[in-house]
Amino acid sequence: MDLNPAQYDAVHTRSGPLLVLAGAGTGKTRVVTYRIAELIRRRTRPERILAVAFTNKAADEMQARAAALLGKRLQRRPEISTFHSLCVRVLRRNVKRLGYPENFAIYDRGDQEGAARSALREIKVAEGSLRPGDLLYFIGKWKSASVRPEQAAARAETDKEHLAAAAYRRYQNALKAAGAMDFDDLLLCTEELFDKHPAVRRAEAGRFDHLLVDEYQDTNASQYRIVKALAAGHRNLCVVGDDDQSIYGWRGADVAHILRFKTDWPEAKVVRLEINYRSTREILEWSNRLIAFNKLRHPKRLQATRRGEPPRILQLENELKESQAVVGEIARRIAEKKRRPRDFAILCRTNEQPRAFEMELRRANVPYILIGGTSFYDRKEVRDVLAYLKTLANPADEASLLRIVNVPPRGIGQTAVKRLMEGAVRSGKPLGQVLASAGNIAALSDAAKKGIADFHALLERYRRLLNARSARLAAIIKSLIDEVGYRDELARLYPDANDRDVRWASVEELVNAAAASESKNSPGKQGSTHAALISFLRETALTGADADRDKESKLRRNAVALMTLHAAKGLEFREVYMVGMEEGTLPHHRSIGLNNDGPAIDEERRLCYVGATRAQRRLTLTLSLNRRKWGKPRPTICSRFLYELTGKADNPNYLAIRQGRANAKRKKRNG
């Protein structure tokens, strides 16, 4: 009784390939969890079911709902995780075949930047020619397309790309020497394992009889091939997704994977979920009209279960008037008790747009949250403590060692670090091993030698503690923090008491997380604390990369949500303001430059569609008639999507925009 006919069909199709096209707000998570429960009810052993999601939040929600349906009587549970968590488990069992240690480290963004900086130094690239962030962009793009270092040079076109290709090899060698992987490597190495070791592929695929994949439209090349490898034998593959919400092409997602599912799996059944339980009929009429302009898509049309007021379009003189109008209206509705702050979302296309709205929200004293700020795991104090733990867990992790070698200060300055690095190069040993013999490096001062000796002794002592079965992980971390005097270091760096207390609270929260991890992974068992540390570091690495964690905690506050359209995917709000509906903003000027009416514009249209379908009761679209560029007001052109949303695609202005003539006229007018 909880399922509509299409949902029921998807849940009760128990074998063979199945594509569930789940439109926005149509209850896809319910379908996945009910399907898991139905498989178990029909005698599939729970541990033989694998469900894969893209974020920890989605996986946790799926796990919680499945547990609620199945009850406590089951001794075993289905395996529900993210792609990256799944790959970590596969690699932990088999990674030695690829020349990595079983306890390999997972580099976060900060670690990657350190490795990128070293790689650029190694090939003597001038600082202005290629920044570490640029190098990581190119490496990420190549890895998303399964391009290895030896293949990158052939793909390079510009001078920057050729430099990046040269540095890519050094970067990858540095990671392997440190016994580390970045997030893309987790997928690539799993794919490599399956390619080079068929027995491993068969063993991992043989663990499951059913595979379910959520958000299939967001899979990249590696994820697509991993899914095929795991499902090829039993062919009981259920994928759930919506090609109309594929908005991550810029990070490697390929909408073609969901579009060609029937080609890959010819016997596949297709079920369309089209009843939307979120938005009003009026909002869905506009949304359906818009997305129909994308030709390469599975045909579907969302149907509403409620009615409401038509969406609105507001034209304002400039971006200041736009922010004042939007915030003024929100403030009035809150003051009139018609809505709470958390009922509103302001959605922007670019990271720069929120600034004007932040200023107005502050001026109006309206509480707000900016989604996309610093993650908990990106905070300096958290990264410092984690660097200590990573160094203890993996002595070869040079990036972590360099981060904390003089934090807090212990007399090991930049000159001493340089001498240590030179000693490591001469001896061919990892930096961690050179610490033990630093007393033999004549170029080091006596103060530096003492600081290094004390630091090395500290690390060795805590490594011994970690191997003791009587120790608890949280207690060891707390002792380490106290012994190095990290609270005093925070007091030295941050004189403001409030700032200092907030940062110390983050350190305390990390210790709490370690205790919770140890309790969860080995309840009632007294095993090696080193193993508990490895598990904890893997959890933090996988969680730290998932922006949805921080997003979810922020959204629990009673505040207006201010975020980009990309960050809004998967969320819903009573009232949504989509701002900056102009050519060059939405669609973005880069997409127009790539092709004025091609695949890049299709993705921008999907992004607009995602924004519109976040609204439950009220949708407002705004545009500025003038917007400042380099301090000077410039006239704008109305977004082509406004014509498509409103059914005015026969307007001559719209036709001019589609043909690229409007932009040419504006350039001529602006001289």
Q: What is the pLDDT of residue 147?
A: 87
State residue 573 phi and psi, 5-degree precision.
-145, 150
Considering the chain, tell me which residue range(s) the CATH 3.40.50.300 domain(s) occupy. 5-91+194-273, 284-367+558-669
Q: What is the pLDDT of residue 281?
A: 97
Residues 6+ apart with CB under 8 A from 529: 465, 466, 467, 468, 469, 471, 472, 473, 476, 518
Mean of the pLDDT values across residues 163-190?
92
As a whole number of angstroms, the distance between CA 172 and CA 127 comes to 20
Q: Determine the Cα angle at 250 with ends 248 and 253, to 5°.
A: 50
Q: What is the pLDDT of residue 553?
A: 64
- Other CB atoms within 10 A of residue 205 CB: 17
515-541: string of b/e by CB count within 10 Å (b at 16+)? bebbeebbeeeeeebbbbbbbbbbbbb
Residues 6+ apart with CB under 8 A from 237: 17, 18, 211, 212, 213, 227, 231, 265
- In three-state form (DSSP H/G/I as H, E/B as E, the rest C), the secondary structure along 439-467 is HHCCCCCHHHHHHHHHHHHHHHHHHHHHC
Q: What is the pLDDT of residues 307-356, one digit of tens each?
A: 999 999 999 999 889 999 999 999 999 998 888 999 999 999 987 788 88
Considering the chain, tell me which residue range(s) the CATH 1.10.10.160 domain(s) occupy. 105-178
Residue 552 has pLDDT above 70, yes or no: no
CB 310 within 8 A of CB 281: no
Q: What is the pLDDT of residue 167?
A: 93
Q: What is the pLDDT of residue 338?
A: 81
CB 148 within 8 A of CB 96: no
CB 622 within 8 A of CB 580: yes
Q: What is the pLDDT of residue 239?
A: 96
State residue 595 phi and psi, 5-degree precision.
-170, 120
Share of the chain above pLDDT 90, in %: 50
Mean of the pLDDT values across residues 254-260?
95
As a whole number of angstroms, the distance between CA 544 and CA 546 comes to 5
Residue 175 has pLDDT above 70, yes or no: yes
Instruction: Assign 519 a pLDDT band (cuts: 50, 70, 90).
Output: confident
Mean of the pLDDT values across residues 387-416?
88
First-to-final CA distance of the chain: 65
Instruction: Assign 215 a pLDDT band (cuts: 50, 70, 90).
Output: very high
Among 59-73, 180-194, 563-577, the least confident range? 59-73
Mean of the pLDDT values across residues 74-96?
90
CATH number 1.10.10.160 given to 105-178: yes
Residue 377 has pLDDT above 90, yes or no: no
Residue 439 has pLDDT above 60, yes or no: yes
Calculated CA dihedral for residues 546, 551, 556, 557, nearest 10 degrees: 150
Residue 373 has pLDDT above 60, yes or no: no
183-204: string of b/e by CB count within 10 Å (b at 16+)? bbbbbbbbbbbbeeeeebbeeb
For the purposes of burial, counting CB atoms within 10 Å of the CB of 3, is it exposed (0-12), middle (13-18) or buried (19 or more)? middle
Q: How many alpha carbons fall within 13 Å on the CB side of residue 432?
A: 22
Residue 465 has pLDDT above 90, yes or no: no
Mean of the pLDDT values across residues 115-139?
84
CB 82 within 8 A of CB 226: no
Q: How many alpha carbons fall within 13 Å on the CB side of residue 71?
A: 3
Report domain 377-544's class.
Answer: mainly alpha
CATH number 3.40.50.300 given to 284-367+558-669: yes
**For the chain, what's the residue count?**
671
Q: Return the higher-pLDDT residue of 303 and 444.
A: 303
Among 118-132, 175-189, 369-383, 405-419, the least confident range? 369-383
Q: Return the higher-pLDDT residue of 292 and 527.
A: 292
Q: How many alpha carbons fall within 13 Å on the CB side of residue 382?
A: 23
Cα dihedral sign, 376-484-401-88:
negative
Reported as type and span, the H/E element at residue 348 is strand 344-348
CATH number of 5-91+194-273: 3.40.50.300
Considering the chain, tell me which residue range(s) the CATH 1.10.486.10 domain(s) occupy. 377-544
Mean of the pLDDT values across residues 385-400?
88
Instruction: Assign 505 a pLDDT band (cuts: 50, 70, 90).
Output: confident
Q: What is the pLDDT of residue 419?
A: 85
Residue 246 has pLDDT above 50, yes or no: yes
Q: For the chain, what is the radius of gyration of the CA atoms? A: 27
Catalytic residue positions, numbered: 28-29, 214-215, 245, 614
DSSP code for 395? T
Q: What is the pLDDT of residue 146?
A: 83
As a whole number of angstroms, the distance between CA 550 and CA 222 comes to 27
Among 98-107, 228-237, 425-434, the least confident range? 425-434
Q: What is the pLDDT of residue 671?
A: 47
Rounded to the nearest integer, the mean pLDDT of the chain is: 88
Q: Return the higher-pLDDT residue of 572 and 530.
A: 572
Residue 232 has pLDDT above 90, yes or no: yes
Checking phi first, is residue 483 left (phi over 0); if not, alpha (psi -120 to 50) or beta?
alpha
CB 399 within 8 A of CB 107: yes
Mean of the pLDDT values across residues 632-644?
92
Mean of the pLDDT values across residues 7-25?
94
Mean of the pLDDT values across residues 126-130?
71
